[in-house]
Amino acid sequence: MNCNDVRENLIELLTDGPADPQVKAHVSQCSACTEELGSLRKTMALLDEWESPEPSPYFLTRLRAHVKEERQKAPAMFGWLRRPLLAAALATVLAAGGVGYRIFMTAPPPDNGAVADIESLDKNHDLIIDTDLVNELTGAPSDDVAEP
């Protein structure tokens, strides 16, 4: 094992957990890894001794007072909704926009005149031919043939 692999597994030796025997053997033979393990043990001992400072007894009281002051300073994001006149104006604008959208966006497509007629006849060409064929089979008079 090399030193980089052992450094990744040193935490197992610190916690007295089940450590890999190869890691233990390497640490006992390598002075650099032994020093690293000793340094980590000292660091952990310092962290165990450290105690966090106690907050001031009036900390929460002062914090609540500061929060209350800031709320009063800053205007509410949607505070204008509480004013009935502005809310009614906004509702009117939204309703007018919806009605305008329906009127202007659902207009029928423009008629292209002769081009649309030719396209319609082209689409219905098969239907027209089939109708003449049916007339011939049934013996009905055709519109194209003039009667004597």
Looking at residue 148, its pLDDT comes to 46
Looking at residue 95, its pLDDT comes to 95
Is 128 or 73 the better-scoring residue by pLDDT? 73
Looking at residue 79, its pLDDT comes to 66
pLDDT over 90 for what percent of the chain? 10
pTM of the model: 0.36
Has residue 26 got a pLDDT over 80?
yes
How many CB atoms neighbour CB 24 within 10 A?
Answer: 14
Residues 13, 11: Cα–Cα separation, whole Å: 5
State mean pLDDT over 17-32. 84
Q: Name the average pLDDT for the chain.
A: 79
CA atoms within a 13 Å half-sphere pointing along the CA-CB vector of 13: 22
**CA dihedral over 126, 128, 129, 131, signed as positive or negative:** positive
